[in-house]
Structure 1
Amino acid sequence: MARFILQHQDTHAYRRKSRIISLVMAGQFVVLGMLFAMLLTAAFGSSLALNALGVLLGLLATSAMFAVLKDRPWMTEVRYAWQLKHHLGQVSGYLSTLRRAMDNDDRTALDLVSFYHQGMAQMAEMNDRTTDDDAERLAEKMQVKLKREELELPEHVEGFNPDDLQAYKRP
């Protein structure tokens, strides 16, 4: 799998585009769902099943449109945020194992936990939120920083390689 590199993002552009895209997609889903439901009930008679099928077809059409548009250049910030969330979710599933390995000076685990904290901080910044209210996370972040200094590792990591998680899979 390809390495994911942390990149600086324009948080205002991300939030603006994210809101616009969410509204457009929701509007498209509502319009298409209603349109399909109306067409189906007009052609085959009124029933709850046909209305539900119309809504499902609206969802599928909206999803297909989104799949086609997600690689467009104007979706860069939003696509980056989705990828970051996906990778943070991957790492969070291994956090307990990574924390134990980190206590044993495992550099890869330390890099993965560092990526997790850097990514969480970036997502919070992009969403205009703060992570300073979680004492447990702040304590772990400080522990990671001290451990990295002790092992003479750079304070920050550049990114995340999903293949690094393979070593921490449960048997």
Structure 2
Amino acid sequence: MQLEEINKARYRKCLNRVIVACIIVLVVGSLSISQLLIMLFPNESGSHFFWNLLGVVLTCICIGWVLNKYRTHQAMTEVVYVWELKQTLNRINRKMPKLKAAANEGNIDALQTIHFCYAGSRQLWQLDDNTITMDELAIQQAELDSLAKQFNVELNSKDFKEEVLAQF
């Protein structure tokens, strides 16, 4: 995965549309399916919990299927990119203790991966207007830059390859 420039306004607009559409479909779909099931299979005790749950589950499956089907649509480009970036950053963060240990020993792949993680996190936080922890990120980036200088490594987020995570 490579970092890409994202139009923040377009991203927020598309994300908000996707969220609102999912909420509306979830409410209408789950209520419709559960009411249909209750009508077809009434329960004398009056408990329709499982029919309601089945309506929600079936609607969630449908929403997931539609989102997956239209993930390549032009309107979903930014939303899918951010979603995939978050998944990649989560994989990196799960391995961060091992990555930091390897970086302290001068492992170039670990240094590049951590740099990508910091750059990706910075981009996500700016897109979501979550700048509270930017100062902490700047400190961590300075420490990483110091390590890179110590081991004579030039950091570039474009040099990140997701396959290297397997070695950590």
Q: When the two structures are superposed, what TM-score results if normalisation uses the length of structure 2?
A: 0.89
Instruction: Give 3-state SS (helix, strand or coil) of 1:45's partner.
Output: coil
Unaligned runs of 5+ in 2: none
Over the matched positions of the two proteins, sequence identity in percent amounts to 21
Which deviates more, 93-102 or 54-63? 54-63
Structure 1 runs of 4+ aligned residues shifted over 6 Å read none
Q: Taking structure 1 as reference, are residues 64 and 40 closer, same or farther at Cα in structure 2, changes over 3 Å only? A: same
One-letter identity of the residue aligned with 1:65: V
Q: Is the 8 A contact 1:6 1:159 kept in 2?
A: no
Q: Which residue of 2 aligns with 1:8?
A: 5
Residues 1:19 and 2:16 aligned together = yes
CA distance in 2, matches of 1:110, 1:12: 32
Q: When the two structures are superposed, what TM-score results if normalisation uses the length of structure 1?
A: 0.88
Q: Which residue of 1 aligns with 2:76?
A: 75
CA distance in 1, matches of 2:62, 2:144: 45
Q: How many residues align?
A: 164
Shift of 1:159: 5.5
Q: Is the 8 A contact 1:6 1:119 kept in 2?
A: yes
- Larger relative contact order (Cα-Cα within 8 Å, sequence gap ≥ 6): 1
Measured against aligned partners, the alpha-carbon deviations of 1:93-129 in whole angstroms (never above 9, x if no partner) come to 1111111111111111000000010000000011112
The Cα RMSD (Å) is 1.7
Q: Which residue of 2 aligns with 1:124?
A: 125
Unaligned runs of 5+ in 1: none
Q: Is the 8 A contact 1:5 1:158 kept in 2?
A: yes
Q: Taking structure 1 as reference, are residues 69 and 86 closer, same or farther at Cα in structure 2, changes over 3 Å only? A: same
